[in-house]
A and B are shown apart, each in its own frame.
Chain A
Amino acid sequence: MSSLDESLPEPTGAEVLPGESLRTSEVMSSLDHHETGIPSSEAGPQMTIFDCRDVEVFYGSHQAIRDVSLSFGLREVTALIGPSGCGKSTFLRCLNRMNDLIPSAKVGGHVIYHGQDLYAPEIDPVQVRKRIGMVFQKPNPFPKSIYDNVAFGPRVVGMEGDMDEIVERALVRGALWEEVKDRLDENAFGMSGGQQQRLCIARALATDPDVLLMDEPCSALDPISTGRIEDLMSELKERISIVIVTHNMQQAARVSDKTAFFNVELAADEKSRTGVVVEYDATETIFTNPSDKRTEDYVTGKFG
């Protein structure tokens, strides 16, 4: 846990020091206490989009991840890297309560988003997913028209406004509008893989989320499509925060501001493996001057 402390940015009033127990009201009050109302880059209220404390996930009796405490920066790209099976995707799915859909999954700990613990009992997971978008590893457009794909989210959450405008705005933000504006009625399955993934991004953006979670979005794509999506991410982060799980270290180095390195640890009984966060720091530090040897071994390719 100590390495985590050292690598976090200088604590502002919004941060919670390790060892302190977390209650939503405490966080709220500490934030209010420091609010100045004057926009500033360093001081002032909430500069993080997520504050996760002691997040753990069990699938049945198997502990998939434990003790994950990370804070993700507002309007930044944070990358989660690490070898296969160390729980990065599992953790990502905690952020928009997608693990709820797996019957055997149990999530513990706290995920604070805009001062609200997403796992509080009064929270509606459907509303959570409206505000926190997700893009999956393999593009999964619906077997419908491009228009209906993008319109689906706004329709089901009951977004108000002119649907044509909403769809156009989303496709523009997803850097797809110029390519498809004349063929919105065509079936999405007719698009190439890269286009489909950008469609999925646009679709996720349509409900106007302020976070986009991306689970290895480029792993099924060719390098050119990958490049376009990476460019898109740089544009998107001006308005939204992004958390991306990636296997591709170079990609993490290219696109992210901060990087968290996950790894597996053998449990005490030596039979099960659990994912933990080894190090979390600015991307440049992780890749050029990591504090933990395991991080260094991973980023230099000694394992993974």
Chain B
Amino acid sequence: MTPVTSTERERVRADLVRARSARSAREGLIKGILVLAALLSIATTTAIVFTLLQQTLSFFGTVSPWDYFTGTKWTPLLAGDQQSFGVLPLLWGTFYLTGIGLLVAIPCGLLAAIYLSEFAKPRVRKAVKPILELLAGMPTIIFGYFALTFVTPTILRGLLGIPVKQFNGLSAGLVLGILVIPTIASVSEDAMRSVPSSLREGAYGLGAGRLQVALRVVFPAALSGIVAALILGASRAVGETVIILIAGGQEPSMTLNPTQSFQSMASFIAATARGDIPQNTLKYETIFVVGFTLFCVTLLLNGVSAKVVGRFRQVYE
């Protein structure tokens, strides 16, 4: 059992100092690559904002913002003095159809969420969740096809006898609602399941029934998460393009009559922008200004939702 000699110590020392710079360089390079990747996301946002803003400002050089934001006629494709750039019909179309959709999606989604979170036995839950997940995974184009070829002729005109036009807001709005049900249901359900079981047990202990616990204890406790779910659903509906494009038509309206055709901001963009529009035309710029409007609306909704969720998380942490 020899003690450590000084030559061994020298070797140890050399060992400890060895290769530091080579290794550091390599690790630093790797970190640099990763940083670059992360910066791409910033670059994307910058590009989006820059692109949208640039064309928007150019647009506002020709059309006054006042006319844009307060005008009630949106006819950018017409010529001469028939041409009008009031965006209100598009905003109306967007929110009106979202509203119709939420009328369907909110009760259905919340009830489904309450059921899955508070009432369903695990086996039933296992059977029901896939329904929502399947609905959530469907490409929206198929929803659009469904609205056009089934909801409008068979349900609305046929079953319910409503005299809707071929392209109408009711069909688009209802299918929009079906699209959004899974979003509202699953996010609300997560919120409700996150409520600590101690709250439920306390209420059960006081003699409350299942329904009362669900509605009076869990639901209020999960309220911020549920509100976030609703906002998320609304945001999803606001951004949806193809359903409205196919089923809602390409004519904007500013009426409460859902049998008319409607156009939303998103469906206008998709209808107008095809790869062959000449640049630097007013028509080209309308895509961007409407896109920018849509972007701001979604950002606002997302921001509000994030704030609500942030408050929600704090409560239980």
8 Å CB interface, A110-159 against B: 113-116, 118, 122-124, 126-128, 131
Interface size bucket, A side?
20 to 34
> Does B12 lie within 8 Å of A116, measured CB to CB?
yes
A69 neighbours in B (Cβ, 8 Å): none
Q: Does A44 contact B (CB under 8 A)?
A: yes
> Does B23 lie within 8 Å of A115, measured CB to CB?
no
Stretch at the interface among A32-40, A56-64, A186-194, A221-229: A32-40
> Does B13 lie within 8 Å of A39, measured CB to CB?
no
> Does B2 lie within 8 Å of A124, measured CB to CB?
no
Q: Does B279 contact A (CB under 8 A)?
A: no
Q: Does B19 contact A (CB under 8 A)?
A: yes
How many residue pairs bridge A and B at CB < 8 Å? 62
> Does B16 lie within 8 Å of A128, measured CB to CB?
yes
> Does B4 lie within 8 Å of A123, measured CB to CB?
no
* B15 in complex: contacting residue of A35, A47, A74, A127, CB < 8 Å: A127
B12 neighbours in A (Cβ, 8 Å): 113-116, 131
> Does B6 lie within 8 Å of A45, measured CB to CB?
yes
> Does B5 lie within 8 Å of A45, measured CB to CB?
yes
8 Å CB interface, B14-33 against A: 15-20, 23
> Does B9 lie within 8 Å of A114, measured CB to CB?
yes
> Does A115 lie within 8 Å of B9, measured CB to CB?
yes
Looking at the assembled complex, report how far the CB atom of A51 sits from the nearest CB atom of chain B, in whole angstroms. Answer: 12
8 Å CB interface, A249-285 against B: none
Report A101-116 CB contacts with B as 1/0, cut-off 8 Å.
Answer: 0000000000001111
Most buried by A among B1, B6, B17: B6
Docked complex Cα distance between A294 and B94 (Å):
75
A114 neighbours in B (Cβ, 8 Å): 4, 8-9, 12-13
Of chain B, the residue at the smallest CB distance from A47 is: B3
> Does A46 lie within 8 Å of B4, measured CB to CB?
yes
Report A214-257 CB contacts with B as 1/0, cut-off 8 Å.
Answer: 00000000000000000000000010000000000000000000
A45 neighbours in B (Cβ, 8 Å): 3-6
Docked complex Cα distance between A44 and B3 (Å):
8
Q: Does A98 contact B (CB under 8 A)?
A: no
A41 neighbours in B (Cβ, 8 Å): 1
Looking at the assembled complex, report how far the CB atom of B57 sits from the nearest CB atom of chain A, in whole angstroms. Answer: 43
Q: Does A31 contact B (CB under 8 A)?
A: yes
> Does A124 lie within 8 Å of B17, measured CB to CB?
yes
Of chain A, the residue at the smallest CB distance from B19 is: A124
> Does A35 lie within 8 Å of B5, measured CB to CB?
yes
B20 neighbours in A (Cβ, 8 Å): 122-124, 127
Docked complex Cα distance between A192 and B9 (Å):
39
> Does B13 lie within 8 Å of A115, measured CB to CB?
yes
Looking at the assembled complex, report how far the CB atom of A155 sits from the nearest CB atom of chain B, in whole angstroms. Answer: 15
Looking at the assembled complex, report how far the CB atom of B13 sits from the nearest CB atom of chain A, in whole angstroms. Answer: 5
8 Å CB interface, B22-51 against A: 23
> Does A127 lie within 8 Å of B16, measured CB to CB?
yes
Looking at the assembled complex, report how far the CB atom of B87 sits from the nearest CB atom of chain A, in whole angstroms. Answer: 49
B4 neighbours in A (Cβ, 8 Å): 45-46, 74, 114
Looking at the assembled complex, report how far the CB atom of B178 sits from the nearest CB atom of chain A, in whole angstroms. Answer: 42
Report A68-81 CB contacts with B as 1/0, cut-off 8 Å.
Answer: 00000011000000
> Does A123 lie within 8 Å of B16, measured CB to CB?
yes
Docked complex Cα distance between A208 and B13 (Å):
16
8 Å CB interface, B264-304 against A: none
A46 neighbours in B (Cβ, 8 Å): 3-4, 9
**Can you list 24 residue pairs at the A/B interface with Cβ under 8 Å?**
A32-B6, A35-B6, A39-B1, A39-B3, A40-B3, A44-B3, A45-B3, A45-B5, A45-B6, A46-B4, A47-B3, A74-B4, A114-B4, A114-B8, A114-B9, A115-B13, A116-B13, A123-B16, A123-B20, A124-B17, A127-B19, A128-B16, A131-B16, A238-B1
Known: A35-B6, A118-B16. 11 other contacts (CB 8 A): A28-B9, A40-B3, A45-B4, A46-B9, A114-B12, A114-B13, A116-B16, A124-B19, A124-B23, A127-B15, A127-B19
